[in-house]
A and B are shown apart, each in its own frame.
Chain A
Amino acid sequence: MSDRGTLRIQRISGHLGPVPGEGTQREDKVCKLIDTTTCIGCKACEVACVEWNDMPFRETYFDNTYQTMPDTEWNFWNLIKFNEDEHADGSFAWLMRKHQCMHCADPGCLHACPADGAIVQYENGIVDFQQENCIGCQFCVSGCPFNIPKFDPNTKKVYKCTLCSDRVGAGLEPACIKACPTGCLHFGTKDDMKFLAEKRATQLREVSGFKEAGVYDPPTIGGTSVIYVLHNINKTEAYGGLPREPRISQAFTIWKEWFKPIGLFGAMLGFVGVVMHYIFEGPLRTQPTPPVKEIVPPDLGKEN
């Protein structure tokens, strides 16, 4: 991205008036906007995801809901969650939310991962797993506040939504976006999507009567590259367990990044300690030792 930036035009010879394109800025951060209020639960995005990522048919089972399967799987990254939310006045809403990796700005999986290069975050905000470097320890599974990474017991690797980094890198929108028939899925820069989402939320509040409509872009993890427009921003849990304030365990942040190196250093002090002890005090020999000739320096008050 940066090499393209250097070819931006700054000055032009013999050119009258302002330089075309002067002062333009690139917005690298990409974002997927999911407007749950216009989702019809058609599952076209599920199919598109499986198709584009060339994933095999996966068996599932019927558990009296419209949901394809209980949760995402290592080879099923995109799942519409269907939930019935009962209101205080007895009415109820049927909520549909497209569940996939949120591509956090501060990713819990990346913090938790001990393997060199197994999880990367691109400058455009996409968090991607590099399976060739994955060691299958599944710390990312515990690090993720959204329960996204899934372990494949056969390959012993962890997989999740890539936000179609292969398509985005080639200037295409993610497969799920392309498949959406109602236009509830949008893709663009983070700024644009944020603007669009806020505009829609305002419309919902002022025109459609959803007084608590809002945008889900949780600041507790620095925002996400997948944002939602929800009918009720105060009831995120009703959308199939979307955490209201997702957090990364400090076991994977403070502990791993600060305590662990310090703790290792502390343990190695044991080595320094014994070496110093040998130099300063010397060994305890079996008694009786040969007669002492001299103790240097003298008069340390030691009997030998």
Chain B
Amino acid sequence: MATSADRFVHRPNAIDRLGQTVVYVGELLRHPVYTRFLHWMVGIFFFLALLSGFGIYLPWIFRFFTPLFGGGPMTRLLHPWFGLGFVFFFALQAINWLQVMKWTPGDSRWMKNIRKYVIRSDSTESPETGFFNGGQKLMFWEIVCGSIAYVITGVIMWFPTTFGRIAVAISYMVHDVSALVMLFGIFFHIYLSTFGEPGTIQAMTRGTVSEAWAWTHHPAWYKAVTGRDPRQAIEQTQSEMAASKRPGRPPEVL
């Protein structure tokens, strides 16, 4: 949990200085410009690589996806470069997040209680959930492993005569499995950052989240950055809402 606060010892770099993050009252800084830039570069290259890879993946769907990239040969030509773009920006993001993605015993407990998270039996995350929860970390490390697999197998398939028949055949399967796992994961990533947990996506667009979002989804991180107890904060807001006689959203959640 101590690592959660370390996140904010981010020294602005050249890319951070290109933009700005406005934190309004009732909000917390979540992702600085550099992190957001990397995230969307990874996202763009992910979808370019995904769609161009789709065409090469199965002859059945070849005709639907290759025209998007100027036909089969162009798709084949571009796909490795899209992939390299994805891996390059993700590598930078991995370095950026290495500290905060460290697996803790709390994350193991989170994974054990994943059922409660899925069926929404608790109204907030466990009090020990820091900057990222166990699921987010799992996905991060899956992408790290998947990207390493992508690069190794991708290069082998890029230059098939250099590495031999067997190596290509194995790479072909590993590359596919890695892509399928990431495709499976991207649905959860998009869902949980939009519909599944309202108020999340602004962390990657404007870079800030509401305090209510922070104490709901990342209570330990909230405590580390504000010093307030998340439980108390919820109760206090609740009583303020009751006093205002206007049952509605808490005032700072806009």
Residue numbers of A with Cβ under 8 A of B are 113-116, 118, 133-139, 141-142, 147, 151, 156, 249-252, 255-256, 259-261, 263-264, 266-271, 273-274, 277-278, 281-291, 302-304
- Minimal Cβ-Cβ distance residue in A for B213: A286
CB pair A304 B60 closer than 8 Å: no
Q: With A263-B177, A290-B249 given, name 4 new contacts (CB 8 A).
A: A113-B59, A282-B120, A284-B196, A288-B250
Nearest B residue (CB) for A284: B197
Main secondary structure of the interface of A (DSSP, over half): loop
| 21 residue pairs from A and B, CB less than 8 Å apart | A114-B56, A114-B57, A133-B72, A135-B71, A138-B160, A142-B165, A142-B169, A263-B176, A267-B180, A274-B187, A274-B191, A274-B195, A281-B120, A284-B120, A285-B216, A287-B124, A290-B241, A290-B248, A291-B247, A302-B120, A304-B123
Give the total number of A-B pairs whose CB atoms are below 8 A apart: 153
Task: Knowing A114-B56, A267-B184, A284-B196 are in contact, say whether A156-B191 is a contact too (CB < 8 A).
Answer: no
Closest 6 CB pairs of A and B: A135-B72, A251-B169, A274-B191, A142-B168, A270-B187, A249-B169
Whether B198 lies near A286 (C-beta < 8 A) is yes
B180 near A263: Cβ-Cβ < 8 Å: yes
Binding site for A on B (CB under 8 A): 55-60, 62-63, 66, 71-73, 75-77, 118-121, 123-124, 157, 160-161, 165-166, 168-170, 172-173, 176-177, 180-181, 183-188, 190-192, 195-199, 210, 212-213, 215-217, 234, 237-238, 241, 247-250, 253
Question: Does the CB pair B160–A142 fall under 8 Å?
Answer: yes
Contact assessment for B75 and A287 in the assembled complex, using a CB-CB cutoff below 8 Å: no
A204 to B119, CA, bound (A): 77
- Pairwise interchain contact A141-B197, C-beta atoms closer than 8 A: no
Decide if A274 touches B188 in the complex (CB within 8 Å). Answer: yes
A271 CB → nearest B CB, Å: 5
Instruction: Specify which chain A residues have a CB less than 8 angstroms from the CB of B172 in the assembled complex.
Output: 139, 142, 251-252, 255
Decide if A156 touches B77 in the complex (CB within 8 Å).
yes
B contact residues around A288 at 8 Å (CB): 212, 234, 237-238, 241, 250
